[in-house]
Structure 1
């Protein structure tokens, strides 16, 4: 699961395999947009602190437009939108309610592979160079294939967005870190 820092800021895409049955009222409480504020002009700067990266690499991702489909498009070719229940990229749901440990959803990765998501933590405190953030939600995504499990954990801070991304490859029960990106700074011009 080699993900670039552009993905780190606004994630990547996989096709959604699960759709809610019938119309549903939005769940009460904070929504996905509260954990990833989307507005033209918002920007996040990340530092790649991956184990195989000898020198930390910095990348800034800026939202540059809102397209006719309602997606906020960034300058790294990513796109996100939030509805009452989920934060989406163009093909998958990245953060979904309820924000309760163990809540799950899935996305189709390919013809025979499914990526599974779960809320791995709520009300967490995450310390990164941009600051210490309270009330974070951590999402864990897993995909298995060829005897290897790929795992990504993303931590979202309320009112800020993605503050940490870590990916691992698990082979024979041993987790090997791949990518570690942390929020270094951010600028929010609106929601």
Structure 2
């Protein structure tokens, strides 16, 4: 399950891309490398995992209608993400998991971090996301399989946070806060349940993503949630 979780974490908080107004909050130069420590705290136990991301440089792939170009970021589990820098921000436009021969285009570009005049406190956007740790418990997992994606509203909450990590102390960080509601059907008596999901990411100038937190508070007999913390342990340029 942790392999899936590491991919899920990156799908929403994919750090990095080139120079932006107010600092290099998203460096994507070829050869850059980030190492992270992931801590999973769940009702049924704790788990830790190391994760590495490397910037692989420019790449492209063809779809039926177009050719998509971008910068590739590869994770230590073999997943590639294709990221584009646009006038208003940085977007994930494609993804390739290790069993695929070529990337698959996202249905729509996924905004990771705004830039320019949109990189300001109070700026918001909405993207769909999936749970990072929430999962069905046996035997319910057999009938329900996966949990449906849900919308999360993201907001630039700060441009001046200080973040302490094993890789050092980072100042003037951008903090992105997210809030969403996950809805699932519990049973005939309880009906539908609504869980509030909180998410935060911190981006440091010249480095990119230095910390991520996700809280999915859920502890029932049919479904478990928990909390994920992801911090930068080292950065190589």
TM-score normalised per structure 1: 0.73
Shift of 1:177: 5.0
For residues 109 and 183 of structure 1, the distance between their equivalents in structure 2, rounded to whole angstroms, comes to 22
* Residue in structure 2 matching 1:144, options 157, 177, 181: 181
Contact 2:122–2:155 (Cα < 8 Å) also in 1: yes
Answer yes or no: is 1:66 the counterpart of 2:58: yes
- Give unpaired runs (5+ residues) of structure 2: 13-19, 61-67, 94-108, 131-147, 184-193, 219-224
Rg: which structure is higher?
A: 2
SS in 2 for 1:50: strand
Shift of 1:46: 0.2
SS in 2 for 1:39: coil
Please list, as runs of the form range in 1=range in 2, the aligned pairs for 1:86-101 lying within 5 A after superposition. Answer: 86-90=89-93, 91-97=109-115, 98-101=118-121
The root-mean-square deviation of aligned C-alpha atoms, in Å, is 2.8
Aligned length: 165
Answer yes or no: is 1:107 the counterpart of 2:113: no
Q: Deviations over 1:33-57 (max 9, x none)?
A: x201002211100011232474532
> Could you say which residue in structure 2 is the equivalent of 1:23?
none
**Bigger strand share:** 2
> Could you say which residue in structure 2 is the equivalent of 1:125?
162
- Give unpaired runs (5+ residues) of structure 1: 14-27
TM-score normalised per structure 2: 0.60
